[in-house]
Chain A
Amino acid sequence: MTQQTQRPDDATTVRLNSVTKDYGNVRAVEAVSLQIEPGEFLVIVGPSGCGKSTTLRMIAGLETISEGELYFDGNPMADVEASERNVAMVFQNYALYPHMSARRNITFGMGNDFTDEEIDQRVEDAAGILDISDLLDRKPKQLSGGERQRVALGRAICRDPDVFLMDEPLSNLDAKLRVQMRAELSRLHDELGTTTVYVTHDQTEAMTLGDRVAVLNGGRLQQVAPPQKLYDFPENQFVAKFIGDPAMNIIPVTVKDGQAEHPAFSIPLPGYDGQTGDTQLGIRPEDLRTVERDSDQPTFGAEVVVTEPLGDTLLLYCQTEDGTEFKVQSDPRQELTAGDPVTLSYDPERLHIFDSESGDTLYHSAHAI
């Protein structure tokens, strides 16, 4: 992402040190340590119930932290009220008061920190940035979903917060508008340069928006990395499967003499020095492709079970003789139907081996080549 940040110097650092949240006997978030750099756009992503919203709400001060510490620019936040943290939050349902105009929604509560002239000026500026100047006198009911979203963003921007916190802000929008608002959020962040923490369950949103992405599962931090690194070098099987659509194929194999052995194929793993025996081979559907039978590349045979023509690609659900199922993202416009035999090849640089039990990554073939 291009960094054209306006004020990168006074942006805030947020640091979570082993932050844990318990609800009675249930541990929602477990020992999450994370540093969000000044001006960074960090996305927290994970399946529902993974603790991502709880983490965000702890940063906001809407939830107390059971164990661990939270720092803004090195200042501990444990005893600082939510209203004193100077954060602005955008909620999934926008939380616009239905009886107030858009303008009143934006300004309500600003009187504590700003003079009237400042408020007017800020509303005008924010409305200009978000292109909602004409909508300020309307009630939320008279606004479309995208417009409400902008007003909610306007409310956050006007407060000139140290940290933006966004809790699935695009989830209530239809698919097309979501893509559009995604691009706008990116632009907005480049313009403002405010440290932003963004929570979503949608991995596409996470990949497109985040400077870095933190993957959370079961309350535990799985990996924090820039999107491409997360995609190419997942640290465990969960991240590998969660990031990427269609999801990575996980095929049980036996590693022996530097080869991944499977009844249907045998794939060499150059430079492999991890454990031998039963492991999981990870390979993304786009790293598999159909080839001619007499190809000089290493190949193996399989049978097509289901075809899904997606336009730009043809998604094949395949099965080897022993019943192992996996997906192949193949070239479009092939005459293939269920039951057809196919010959498949793979990208030797894009193989991953995971531990069968812990799911930890043992090997990326890209490192070896």
Chain B
Amino acid sequence: MSGARLISTGLLPEEITPAMEGVIPSTIATCSLAGEPNVTEISQVYYVDANHVALSHQFFNKTHHNVRENPFASVLVRDPGTYQEWILEVQYDHSEESGPVFDEMDAKIEAIASMTGMSGIFKLRAADIYRVLSVRKSRSRETA
């Protein structure tokens, strides 16, 4: 997202940013502390900086619950132009209920929600911030 980008040697390449515009849904895998894997489709993984991504937290769900007891997660994001799939290993870091990252996500969600008469109902509770541990192109695509 445009609010923040560190010019450090980060893990996320420039090339991945289209896959984080939320055009094609993303997939996230998490695991409870009891060892039960969970796979969920999410509408957007937000680019925070070259080492962090954010997930919107609107409804309480299993993903939200799992990462708070076991922070490791795996995320699949897809480029809407090339359909390239990327695999990110991430670690839940913290949750933000204000600040620039939250505000930008909240404004985007509110903008769309208001178009569908869902203002105030479909709203951002928090931005969950994840640290990126690794990123690579998925071998599931024939060639990119």
- Chain A bound to chain B: no
B contact residues vs A (CB 8 Å cutoff): none
A contact residues vs B (CB 8 Å cutoff): none
